[in-house]
Structure 1
């Protein structure tokens, strides 16, 4: 069996977004499932809009997702000689011809056809002129007489186009640059691509590409056109639906495992299974399981996937991704064991790594800043004697047993005529600086006696 080769060919005119990332993922999974190759190629012939920063951003996003390519990245802007070579071959064989029609003339004819209710198409007036290459002349394909244009889509079955669907189209512009339709065929052919998995908005490009393959005398790859990702309202996915670039999700505290899992489930399924590792996706991925109905992006569901993977992954893996959010706290001072125990305590309570970093900051600070509203409400003169008693009793308290700690707190509160909740909340504010945190006795156990004593002393000094 021929080696499977897929490709992902983004245009570096913007960052990698969800739709493009899903296309990259499906190509990656298909190649890996069949033990083939996955190629990265940048279609950067739009010189004005293509930027190096977007190349770097797309590469970084793919690497973060774990979609590592086997060959490339290739750049169309560096392959012009190859396109010229194949274009001149078609010209020499009489399968392409030079056209001297100006842009203005073409626009005028197009307008005239539209006004008469006709489909705009090139009328072939330069077809038999046998013009040589020259300034201002574009190279057009001489479309052969066809009874039909047909191909077998791996998802949709036979797709048929009428023969008049394609006119004599340009493959080299008058400045010598290749058009998209030509460059993509030459790239796929010379790179040995066997399967093209792309959005169904590309179906209309396929007839022209098939004709180029025919004129080159080579068999085309197999095509699979996957449905687009839509917003929750059924419109094309955009930022107004909550969709962001892949790196923005990373910076908001999403895990790559969660993003990959959610992207795979956008239009693909395997029975009732909801959650997949990348390895499981590679093992189970099959184009026959792609749903032909457009998938709808649900930001809440994606967030739920992220919460699941935060709870599920081991703490060491979580810590690897969390480190960038903890940069201000110089966490190299702490042992990995201490950091992992902290993570274990908050994993069930957060949905993003950003939330996690905000929730655990008091564990990593030498001195917490007490919120003014919390201080005014809970660090009161009435509570001060009880905090002082707790401080005196500190050495005899067993921090390792949360139930014993709770009993001691309850006894102290009752002896002072206060409710346990009031007392516990005052201690929480003293230790964390705020009114919401993981369970208090869990916090005390993780902080340890020395830090608890220091923070209680500082809190007591705040009370007048």
Structure 2
């Protein structure tokens, strides 16, 4: 049997990180089993589904690098297939027309609640042997309901949560087609999983209540049952369900925060799954290690600091040229042109171990691409009259110095010794004058990257401005 998994988002908003983790686990299981990963867009909610959301899902999947083997399939393009199956079920007696009005359903609900019972349809229009159905009302477009079993239980061995059993008495004869003939979510999902040969349904545990209904429909169709695995919820740091109002929940948010896609996947993989004490790993390693048996059935808490640490590890391991390409747009947003200065990849190599995300990396790189004067408070602390006089002497000493990091390091040490001062009395004013900050890597490396002409020009500018 070829393993076939699917990711089936509804295009009603941006791609949520909970959805990304579901896609990741489905993708990883298919890859581990040399199977097939299918992308399906469940767009039957016409009021909420938008082309913009479809694009956001596709862009998000592309950004995180979860490649699919088949699809994307769109439910709205499969309407004819659903209607054929509904007609087959009506003919087989596993579905029936229901003409109950909204008012009648509201009354059923109110009466059930008054009795302290779970509201459900009373099966007025369900055909039974020896039962006389009410007269069909004129001008009423019926819904189609599934003839759910009345007795027994629905049971399955969930790949994450273990054995789950739900009594059929708890289930309603759910509507599978609306009055206009359009099929409903639970029905479309069943037909899709059947037609697409899905062997493993890996999804969020908010779908647990849908599963017994879908199993019963599959059984009525004579279709094979997939293995179900329901992933626990991701909570925020306060133990609450993550929400758009309080938390960064879409992949777009994390892209804009300078998180690498492989780092986000690495972190999401660790939310509810583990391989010993391993925290930092590649997706190749994840696929090699992944098994549904190691997925925890308990909710996980999103820890931003932990995610940033993992992002930092991936930045340290990343190719500098690739990081430069990813960082350049953030520099542009800050108003700096990364083509007007040293090669950004070299700057990245110098700075990347000092930051946890691309936004901070861009902010740290700014002084390589434009000379901004030191803030007044910093200038008052490090660029007093004595410091400027020392910088003027250092400026002269640099004029005949060869320009590479080892030579500059030696020149700085020689100058410090000649001045009879400690290194900070040269290094701090030098950083403030050249970079507008004292928080930089080793000053000889900064000088080497800035280049001789630029360093001498910046020092001259600082000395002239101070004068």
TM-score when scaled to structure 1? 0.93
Kept in 2: contact 1:242–1:299 (CA 8 A): no
In structure 2, distance between residues paired with 1:42 and 1:346 = 41
| 1:420-448 deviation digits (Å, cap 9, x = unpaired) | 42332221122112232222222112112
For 1:17, the equivalent position in structure 2 comes to 16
Is the counterpart of residue 331 in structure 1 residue 331 in structure 2? no
**1:392 equivalenced with 2:396 (yes/no):** yes
Q: RMSD in angstroms over aligned alpha carbons?
A: 2.1
Contact 2:405 2:444 (8 Å CA) reproduced: no
Q: How does 1:161-240 map to 2 (within 5 A)?
A: 161-239=166-244
- Per the alignment, residue 165 of structure 2 pairs with 160
Helix, strand or coil at the partner of 1:392:
helix
- Regions of 4+ moved over 4 Å: 130-135, 332-335
Partner of 1:3: 2
Q: Aligned with 1:331: secondary structure?
A: coil
Distance 2:158 2:301 in 1: 23
User: For residues 187 and 124 of structure 1, what CA distance do their matches in structure 2 show?
Assistant: 27
CA distance in 1, matches of 2:447, 2:310: 31
Long gaps (5+) in structure 1: none
Structure 1 counterpart SS, 2:208: helix
The match for 1:411 is: 417
1:92 matched to 2:91? The reply is yes
Map of 1:119 onto structure 2: 118
Partners of 1:256 and 1:391 lie apart in 2 by 44
Cα deviation for residue 212 of structure 1 reads 0.8
Deviations 1:79-105 (A, max 9, x none): 221211111110122211111111221
Matches within 5 A, 1:15-414: 15-128=14-127, 129=133, 135-239=140-244, 242-327=247-332, 328-332=335-339, 338-365=343-370, 367-398=371-402, 399-401=404-406, 403-414=409-420
2:47 and 2:169 mapped to 1: Cα distance?
33
Judge conservation of contact 2:44–2:76 (CA < 8 Å) in 1.
Answer: yes
Residue by residue, what CA displacement relative to the aligned partner does 1:98-154 show, whole Å, maximum 9, x if unpaired?
Answer: 111112210121011011111211111111339699742100111234422112222
Deviation for aligned residue 1:295: 1.4
Contact 1:409 1:420 (8 Å CA) reproduced: no
- Please give the per-residue CA displacement for 1:397-436, whole angstroms capped at 9, x wherever unaligned: 354225413313413543xxx6542332221122112232
Q: Provide the C-alpha distance between the structure 1 equivalents of 2:375 and 2:52, rounded to a whole number of angstroms.
A: 41
Deviation at 1:157, TM superposition (A): 3.0
SS of corresponding position for 2:209? helix
Summarize the Cα distance change of 1:380–1:199 in structure 2 as closer, same or farther, 3 Å threshold: same
Counterparts in 2 of 1:184 and 1:132: CA distance versus 1, 3 Å: farther
Count of equivalent residues: 457
Question: Residue 413 of structure 1 contacts residue 423 of structure 1 at CA under 8 Å; is this kept in 2?
Answer: no
Deviates more, 1:230-239 or 1:298-307: 230-239
Q: For structure 2, list consecutive stretches of 5 or more residues without a partner in the other structure.
A: 128-132
Q: CA deviation at 1:241?
A: 5.9
Shift of 1:393: 1.3
Deviations 1:269-310 (A, max 9, x none): 112211110111111111111112221111111111111111
2:341 and 2:450 in contact (8 A); partners too: no
Matching residue of 1:448: 451
Q: CA deviation digits over 1:51-90, x for unaligned, max 9? A: 2211111211111111011122122222221211111110
1:287-338: CA deviations, max 9, x gaps? Answer: 1111122211111111111111112223233223223223354434667xx3
